[in-house]
């Protein structure tokens, strides 16, 4: 049997068999339909959720939305729910995000830690406005909270979005954000997580480090992609990162119009290590959760049958080859 046929068989056996009747169940945002799904959860797998929302410049309103989605994910049996970049706040005016920034031990993050503990679920909080080293800057920080409410790890966004979007507007994230310096991976109940934020997606080196140097099995890409760049590149970049690193990818997305100045593309996705989309909301702009099952034996099988970790060349090879 060919590699493609073997993997098709694995995907059918270990995840969901993709027929017209089962796809709506996989993509459903209704907890009741997920719980009554006639397809049993695959052996040795754990359920995850990717949240989609339209954050605004109201901390309390955004927390209420996150709380509702956490309860929905927990009811659906998810062990981890991933939120998009800027889940807690999207500014309507320049400078607002810096004024509301808080430390990771501040009252706002404590609320989210309590939510995780009360709901007995892990949270991936992608893109929290963490107070920076001075009053003019913040850090765009991806925080992992476990099901006891403890912060397990945090990653500060390395690649800042300083881009003149074609047909859009000029973004200058570095004006108010301090870039991170560290690549971060963390163990979790669904495998080893590799952390990133949004614009990092365009820089494959960070994901290669997460996979090959830090042992990541699941790559998290919380984002607030612009409408223009999302239409052009969102899905293809995410599937490429999954395929080339042989990892699951969970990409929670901001969606729709936040205010008069800012609009996000949406389309929350969960992708398996063969590049197949296994979780997606039916509506790219809706608020809700996409749900899928992570099966780490599929990761192992893909890597065994296509052993790129053993075959890839070290950086010294490429340095010599470029002389």
The pair of structure tokens assigned to 131 is 């107070």
End-to-end CA, the chain: 42
The active-site residue, picked from 157, 178, 227, 247, is 157
198 is catalytic: yes
Measured distance CA(3)–CA(305) in Å, rounded: 7
Torsion angle in degrees (nearest 10) through CA of 39, 42, 46, 49: -40
Three-class HEC string of 216-230: CCEEECCECCEHHHH
Measured distance CA(174)–CA(138) in Å, rounded: 10
The active-site residue, picked from 66, 72, 82, 85, is 85
Measured on CA atoms in the order 38, 42, 48, 54, is the torsion positive or negative? negative
85 is catalytic: yes
The DSSP call for residue 211 is I
- Strand-pair category, 253-257 with 263-265: antiparallel
The DSSP call for residue 203 is -
66 is catalytic: no
The active-site residue, picked from 66, 113, 139, 198, is 198
Residues with a catalytic annotation lie at 85, 157, 198
């Amino acid at each position: 049997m060919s590699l493609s046929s073997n993997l098709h068989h694995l995907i059918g056996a270990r995840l969901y068999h993709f027929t017209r009747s089962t796809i709506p169940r996989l993509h459903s945002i209704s907890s009741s339909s997920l719980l009554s799904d006639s397809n049993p959860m695959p052996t040795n797998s754990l359920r995850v959720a990717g949240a989609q929302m339209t954050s605004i410049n109201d901390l309390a309103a955004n927390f209420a939305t996150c709380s509702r989605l956490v309860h929905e994910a927990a009811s659906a049996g998810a062990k981890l729910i991933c939120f998009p970049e800027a889940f807690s706040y999207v500014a309507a005016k320049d400078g607002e995000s810096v004024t509301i920034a808080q430390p990771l031990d501040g009252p706002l993050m404590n609320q989210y830690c309590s939510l995780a503990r009360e709901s007995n679920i892990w949270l991936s909080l992608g893109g929290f406005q963490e107070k920076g080293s001075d009053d003019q800057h913040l850090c765009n920080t991806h925080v992992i909270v476990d099901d006891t409410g403890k912060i397990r790890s945090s990653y500060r966004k390395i690649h800042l979005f300083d881009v003149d979007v074609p047909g859009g507007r000029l973004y200058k994230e570095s004006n108010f954000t301090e870039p991170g310096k560290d690549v971060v991976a963390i163990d979790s109940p669904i495998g080893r997580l590799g952390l990133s934020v949004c614009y990092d997606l365009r820089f494959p080196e960070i994901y290669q480090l997460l996979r090959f140097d830090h042992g990541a099995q699941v790559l998290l890409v919380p984002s607030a992609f612009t409408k223009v760049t999302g239409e052009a590149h969102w899905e293809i970049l995410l599937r490429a990162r999954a395929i080339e690193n042989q990892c699951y990818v969970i990409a929670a997305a901001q969606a729709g119009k936040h205010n008069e100045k800012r609009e996000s593309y949406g389309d929350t996705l969960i992708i398996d290590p063969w590049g197949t989309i296994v979780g997606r909301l039916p509506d790219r702009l809706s608020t809700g959760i996409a749900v899928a099952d992570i099966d780490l034996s599929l990761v192992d099988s893909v890597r065994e049958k296509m052993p790129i970790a053993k075959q890839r060349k070290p950086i010294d090879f490429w340095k010599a080859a470029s002389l």
